[in-house]
Chain A
Amino acid sequence: MTIHQSANGDSQGNPNLETFQELQVSLGKSDISSLILVSEVSVPASGGGSATGGGIVASIPLGSEIIDVRVIPIVASTDGTMQVKTGGEIPAAISDAIACAVDKTVGRAATIDDAYKYVSADGVKVFSHAEADAAKVYILYKRNL
């Protein structure tokens, strides 16, 4: 139970119970469910994120609902795209292939497939069109607690 033992520093004052009560009220289950959470996936050029490289894993909890995807290219790459898919052996597309051809130009998902937008045990991966494509991919999701 070591990890649960108190590390309270007296010098920092005692915990303010009123504050915790405020948090308890203002961050209840429904509040947490309503928060929009973001998973950032870095796809470096030649980083194994290409369609032939097996994709790059996104860290998103099981059961989360993917509601949108944004792509910020970090290099120019003709015909570049980023696509969010399931992490299964045969990945299924969650989003369309989002343009990632022009450095700094934000791309947004045009489609989200409701058949696959709930994260399963297979997880989620980001796939690029080619090895040269590089971007930060932001996957917006919510927890349905």
Chain B
Amino acid sequence: MGEHQSAFDEGQGQPNLEALQYLADFLTPTVVSATLRTAKKSITADATGGLAVSDIPVGAKIIDVHVVCTSANGSGTMTVKTGATVPAAITDAIDCTTDKAIDRAATIDDAYNVVGADGVKVFSNGADDRGDVYIMYMK
């Protein structure tokens, strides 16, 4: 129970139990599970060999991806794949050729969109492709 130990700071006043009751009533595990989340991977270096997305948990279900391109680069794309030794594509190759342009996944493969122990990686088409990749998921 170490992680549950109090870090209560009296200097910030007493907890408002009414507020806590409200949270208990409305932030149920079901509600928490239903919230849409996003993991961001900024591609600032060569990602042709895949760069791991660190903040997406095992079991998360990927439901959408979009890319905000941060540099122009002809033929640039970003693809979200599994982190396996032989990666499997989760999305199509999302266009990333025009600086500032938002491009969205056209396909999500339901055979691979639940994050496994191998995790998830972002692969670029070219070594100079740059962009912020936002992976929407639910737990």
B68 contacts across to A, CB distance below 8 A: 67, 112, 114, 117
Distance in angstroms between the alpha carbons of A22 and B17 in the assembled complex: 16
Distance in angstroms between the alpha carbons of A5 and B24 in the assembled complex: 18
Give the bracket for the number of chain B residues in contact with chain A. 20 to 34
Given A31-B37, A109-B102, A112-B68, A6 and B32 contact (CB-CB distance below 8 Å): no
Given A36-B38, A67-B38, A24 and B4 contact (CB-CB distance below 8 Å): yes
For chain A residues 1-29, which have a beta carbon within 8 Å of chain B?
A: 1, 3-9, 12-13, 15-16, 19-27
Interface locus among B8-16, B76-84, B112-120: B8-16
Minimum CB–CB distance from A35 to chain B (whole Å) comes to 6
Where chain B touches its partner, the secondary structure class is mixed
B21 contacts across to A, CB distance below 8 A: 8-9, 12-13, 15
By a beta-carbon cutoff of 8 Å, the part of chain A in contact with chain B is 1, 3-9, 12-13, 15-16, 19-27, 30-31, 33-36, 65, 67-68, 108-114, 117, 142
By a beta-carbon cutoff of 8 Å, the part of chain B in contact with chain A is 3-4, 12-18, 20-21, 23-24, 27, 29, 32, 35-40, 55, 66, 68, 70, 98, 100-102, 132, 134, 136
